[in-house]
Structures are given as structure tokens and as C-alpha cells.
Amino acid sequence: MYRKGEVSYQALPLPDRVQMPPAEALAAAEAFRDYMRRRHSVRQYSRDPVPEAVITACIQAAGTAPSGANHQPWHFVAIADPAMKSRIRAEAEEEERAFYSGGAGDEWLAALEPIGTGVDKPHLTDAPWLIVVFAQRWGVTQDGVRYKHYSVPESVGIATGVLITALHHAGLVCLEHTPNPMKFLPAMCGRPASEKAVMILPVGYPAADAMVPAVAKRKKPLDDILTVFR
């Protein structure tokens, strides 16, 4: 991360190597691909508690993500407090009512129809944890001087992807909820004006009767997502 006065490049030997022989690498890549195919976005949660240490470890994993100029322009707020979760749900449902009653165009609503979304957001209170992802639009040095962050959306997106993967690896499920605008979140979470909430992740174990939309299992074929030049 940026520190005033640290403006010169210093190198150190690569501290960790995970390189594998080609055959072993292919096996590992295919195993990971198949494991990630078992990840699902879930809206029905068990009330079973999740230890805070598990959430902390997953967020620590997210903090290892690469970022523009290594400024690490993210902050994660983990919420188990029922009153805070209730307020977030109430505010989210208020926004959703406006969205579904005319704020969204017909095309957008048609696109959401197969997903089965609606105004009610019980997952925001049922899930034992909510993780609010904040993007830091600028930083502040130790002596209070503001400085620019670089590639903020890309960096926060990468870190959030690592977080979602870490949660799956820990046997948990989550749902990617994008608050809009929910401007109360920074103040409620004690975050500075430089930060904007970009995602809320309800996190926990899936309910015994958890369902997912059938369309969610339809993934684009490889030919649609990959181009190779040899």
C-alpha cells in the first residue's frame, strides 16, 4: 500500500513458488474448475451460526488480491448485529419497491424473470453474516494528505472474486447483492466519505430447502468465452 516517502523500487526474491509439472497443473486446474462449478448464489439461508474466525480468514484471503499500484482500495465490514441487518433489509426492500414499480425498464425486468428475484429480501436478515464491500475512491497518508487510488473498480472486483471463492472453499454460500444507492451504509458502518458501498454479501450455510434458479446452471460454452491465438 502507498506510504508517503516510499517512492523507490526495491525487489526481493519470489517468496513463494507453486509451479507444477504440466500434467499436474492440468489435473489441478480441472479439479478446481469442477469444484467451482459447485458454487451457487443462494437466497435461502440456515440460521446456523458461522464462526467469526471463518469470516475473518476469508476476508484475509480477499486482502491478498492484486490491486492498482498495490493501494488495496477496499474495506470489508462484517455484520452479525441483528438490528443493523434489519435496517439494511428495510432500506434494500424500499429501493426494490421503487425498482420493480417503474424504476427498471421492461427489458431489465424481463431479464430478471428467470432468476426469480423480487422485492422481499429475507436473506439479508436470515443469513448469519452480511459482508459489505467498500471501494475506497481515494486514500489518505499518515499526515492527512489525500492521494489518488488507481484502477479501483477492477481492484475491488478482483478482491471480491477472491472473497467469494474463499467463502465457497470454506463450505459457505453467499449472494451478490448490489446496493443502489443505499448511501446510508458508510455512516452506519463507520466508514469515511472516501468509501462507497459496492456490494453486500449475505453469507452462511444454505437452508435445507434452498433452491436456485434453473437458468443459473446454464453457463456459456467455452467457445463463447475463450479465444486463443497460437
pLDDT tens for each residue of 201-211? 999 999 999 99
Q: What is the mean pLDDT of residues 142-150?
A: 91
pLDDT tens for each residue of 163-195? 999 999 999 999 999 978 889 999 999 999 999
What is the C-alpha separation between 149 and 68, in angstroms, rounded?
A: 7
Q: Is the pLDDT of residue 1 over 80?
A: no
* Cα dihedral 141→143→147→151 (10° resolution): 10
Q: What is the mean pLDDT of residues 49-70?
A: 98
Q: What does the pLDDT read at residue 141?
A: 87
What is the C-alpha separation between 119 and 98, in angstroms, rounded?
A: 9
Task: Give the mean pLDDT of the chain.
Answer: 95
* Fold of domain 42-190+198-208: NADH Oxidase (3.40.109)
Show me where the domains of the chain are located: 42-190+198-208
When pLDDT is cut at 50, 70 and 90, the band that residue 142 belongs to is confident
